[in-house]
Amino acid sequence: MGTGANETARRGVIGLGSNLGDRLAYLRGAVSRLQAEPGLRLVATSGVYESPPMGPIAQADFLNAAVLIETTIAPRELLARCLAIEAEHGRVREVRWGPRTLDLDLLWVEGVTVEEPGLTLPHPGLAERAFVLRPLAELLPDLVLGDGRNARQAAEELHDDACVRLSGAHLGG
């Protein structure tokens, strides 16, 4: 799994989302691409959730999920690889919170805190967004969030009935 600079493997979570075209196919395509990345090992995938879009733009509902990985890739490089995978899947960045074929968000990397332009870890919306928190809680229920609650507690306390886990929808991996 080596990439050279830092050989210590860390766990991480990447959030996946899509609301254009064959949403589930885009999520599955992203999982396949992540599995092929040197320096990255897919550990687990969450269930798939459907939720309404955030922001002021009228658009289709999203499918969201998350993957737990182990990686030796530095966070900034991992983000760059995620952006490249988005582009391979037709992602166009024209409008903030606009529709997208694929959205990959680096949500958390074990032992890493970053606040830089374009990258904040842990992800700032981790504990407030059901479409992020519920898949995360499936993968790492005991992960302690910034407010001291673990992911499972935070997910249970989140009142968002619009974010629904889809039965029968699987990412593979």
Q: Which amino acids are annotated catalytic?
A: 91, 100, 103, 105
For residue 14, give the 3-state DSSP assignment. strand
Q: Would you give the DSSP letter of residue 135?
A: H
C-alpha 109/C-alpha 157 separation (Å) is 24
Closest CA to 137 of 124, 119, 122, 154: 154
Closest CA to 13 of 137, 114, 96: 137
C-alpha 102/C-alpha 21 separation (Å) is 10
**85: part of which helix (H) or strand (E)?**
helix 75-88
Closest CA to 75 of 40, 39, 114: 114
**Residue 136, number of CB atoms within 10 A of its CB:** 28
